[in-house]
């Protein structure tokens, strides 16, 4: 059957059967595969569509950047698909792009603070799947990091950085992370100078040091058997070294001390009609036992949209902002709590005061029983939407593996939400959040 006709049939299958996927995914187990080259590997089998989604997580995130070369990990990841050495010879940037297009596949690399992630989506037909795996294997094990391409990409990144300095959201995010993380590596952001400092040799050295089996996790979701999944893992990692030299331990994170407001608040002048406000502090990791009380409690505080406390106090009662939010972003080693809004410059002081007092009151008193019951019901009833397609399933499997969570986490998630009590929410918020440790960044012309 011609490939393009096969792809059209797959697309039709998605349309016809997409609505039936949710109930199937809700009960699919995570299977652990045999380790290859020291890497962990996991599989969720689903026959709903002739597609397989694959992720390789690498402990090689931005936190490993040297301060003077911030952005190095990101450049290493982004340039992996611009040239690689395969078993059949050198693959150029154009050849890689052509092969991906010919396969009808998706293949890309992204880098976050904690990890680099390669994602592959391909049809599960063996010949196509094998070609996608071979291509990914070459990119993963032997990227070329051509110096001329690096010069081009550095120019592109420099242009993007200069443009980001005109966007209030970008400026706020960089300054907020610096305030919250302090001396921890996640406080650093790429600059024009730090990108300029990166050489092709730096890319090769970083890749050699971090891209190895003992720092990788492979997650697979889709129409493959356990035997086929094991072959995929073997194919992906066959040319990857199992281990390497010791890597310097990251500095430990020190919790922010109690400080007066004058030392915790930063005001950044910015030519904008809107003031952008962020406040927050470091919080829990995903594996922390208090994760679920904080998740449920935050739904009441600022994560539940129009039913949240912050939305009621800031928008509905006072009309100070169109939207206001709060969330916990738990990581493997350190998490963060953040609340924020945008408002008119002449309302910034009042909006910040209302947001702060609302959060302070919630920390002190917690939610009501009716608020807690409604939050749990919304989270539990909405859970099927978190696992209703391959990509979302892969997100969950990846998170479970990365954070060393039990393999039955998806099966017991709603039970863990349901078990949260008022006392647990109040105790968790008081344990992990404190207004005199909150960092505050106000971007705009604030009137005091």
What is the mean predicted confidence (pLDDT) over 111-122?
A: 97
* Coil/strand/helix, residue 407: coil
Distance between CA atoms of residues 277 and 272, nearest Å:
13
Instruction: Say which CATH number the domain at 211 has.
Output: 3.30.830.10
Distance between CA atoms of residues 60 and 367, nearest Å:
39
Number of domains in the chain: 2
Per-residue pLDDT of 2-40, as tens digits, reads 444 333 333 333 333 333 333 333 469 999 999 999 999
* Coil/strand/helix, residue 327: strand
| Residues 207 and 270 reside in one and the same domain | no
| Residues 153 and 272 reside in one and the same domain | no
Distance between CA atoms of residues 245 and 11, nearest Å:
46
Q: Which domain holds residue 364?
A: 261-443
- Predicted local distance difference test score (pLDDT) of residue 445: 67
Distance between CA atoms of residues 83 and 138, nearest Å:
9
203 touches 209 (CB < 8 A): no
- Predicted local distance difference test score (pLDDT) of residue 13: 34
Is-above-0.75 flag for pTM? yes
Report the mean per-residue pLDDT for the chain. 92
Per-residue pLDDT of 127-154, as tens digits, reads 999 999 999 999 999 999 999 999 999 9
| Residues 216 and 275 reside in one and the same domain | no
**Helices within 339-442 (DSSP H only):** 348-365, 369-382, 390-402, 409-418, 422-432
What is the mean predicted confidence (pLDDT) over 398-404?
A: 97
Per-residue pLDDT of 53-103, as tens digits, reads 999 999 999 999 999 999 999 999 999 999 999 988 999 999 999 999 999
What is the mean predicted confidence (pLDDT) over 225-251?
A: 95
Please identify, among 202, 237, 272, the residue that sits at the C-terminal boundary of a domain.
237
pLDDT at 259 exceeding the cut of 90: no
Please identify, among 237, 270, 299, the residue that sits at the C-terminal boundary of a domain.
237
| Residues 64 and 98 reside in one and the same domain | yes
Per-residue pLDDT of 358-391, as tens digits, reads 999 999 999 999 999 999 999 999 999 999 999 9
**CB neighbour class for 444 (10 Å; exposed up to 12, middle 13-18, buried from 19):** buried
328 inside domain? yes
| Residues 268 and 186 reside in one and the same domain | no
| Residues 333 and 381 reside in one and the same domain | yes
| Residues 181 and 288 reside in one and the same domain | no
| Residues 267 and 160 reside in one and the same domain | no
Distance between CA atoms of residues 182 and 292, nearest Å:
27
Q: Which of 342, 307, 302, 306 is nearest to 326 (CA)?
A: 302
| Residues 143 and 44 reside in one and the same domain | yes
- Predicted local distance difference test score (pLDDT) of residue 447: 46
391 inside domain? yes
């Amino acid at each position: 059957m011609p490939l393009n006709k096969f792809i059209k049939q797959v697309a039709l299958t998605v349309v016809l059967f997409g609505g039936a996927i949710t109930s199937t995914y809700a009960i699919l187990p995570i299977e652990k595969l045999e380790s290859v080259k020291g890497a962990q590997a996991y599989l969720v089998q689903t026959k709903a569509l002739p597609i397989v989604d694959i992720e390789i997580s690498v402990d090689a995130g931005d936190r490993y950047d040297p301060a003077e070369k911030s952005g190095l990990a990101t450049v290493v990841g982004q340039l992996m698909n611009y040239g690689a050495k395969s078993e059949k010879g050198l693959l150029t940037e154009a050849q890689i792009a052509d092969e991906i297009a010919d396969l009808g596949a998706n293949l890309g690399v992204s880098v976050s603070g904690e990890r680099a992630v390669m994602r592959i989506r391909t049809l599960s037909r063996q010949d196509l799947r094998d070609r996608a795996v071979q291509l990914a294997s070459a990119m993963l094990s032997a990227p070329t990091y051509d110096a001329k391409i690096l010069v081009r990409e550095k120019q592109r990144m420099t242009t993007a950085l200069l443009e980001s300095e005109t966007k209030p959201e970008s400026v706020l995010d960089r300054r907020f992370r610096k305030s919250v993380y302090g001396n921890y590596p996640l406080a650093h952001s790429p600059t024009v100078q730090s990108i300029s400092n990166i050489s092709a040799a730096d890319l090769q050295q970083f890749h050699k040091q971090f891209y190895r089996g003992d720092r990788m996790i492979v997650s697979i979701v889709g129409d493959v058997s356990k035997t086929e999944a094991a072959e995929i893992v073997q194919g992906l990692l066959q040319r990857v070294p199992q281990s390497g030299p010791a890597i310097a331990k990251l500095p430990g994170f020190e919790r922010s001390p109690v400080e007066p407001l004058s030392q915790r608040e930063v005001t950044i002048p910015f030519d904008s009609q809107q003031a952008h406000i962020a406040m927050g502090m470091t919080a829990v990791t995903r594996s922390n036992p208090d994760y679920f009380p904080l998740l449920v409690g935050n739904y009441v505080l600022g994560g539940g949209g129009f039913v949240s406390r912050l939305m009621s106090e800031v928008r509905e009662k006072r009309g100070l902002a169109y939207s206001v939010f709060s969330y916990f972003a738990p990581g493997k080693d350190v998490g963060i709590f953040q609340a924020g809004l945008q408002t008119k410059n002449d309302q910034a002081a009042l909006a910040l005061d209302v947001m702060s007092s609302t959060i302070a009151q919630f920390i002190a008193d917690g939610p009501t029983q009716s608020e807690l019951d409604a939050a749990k019901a919304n989270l539990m009833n909405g859970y099927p939407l978190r696992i209703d397609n391959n990509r979302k399933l892969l997100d969950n499997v990846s998170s479970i593996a990365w954070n060393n969570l039990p393999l039955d986490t998806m099966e017991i998630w709603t039970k863990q939400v349901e078990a949260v009590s008022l006392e647990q929410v109040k105790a968790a918020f008081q344990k992990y959040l404190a207004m005199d440790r909150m960092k505050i960044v106000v971007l705009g012309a604030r009137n005091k």
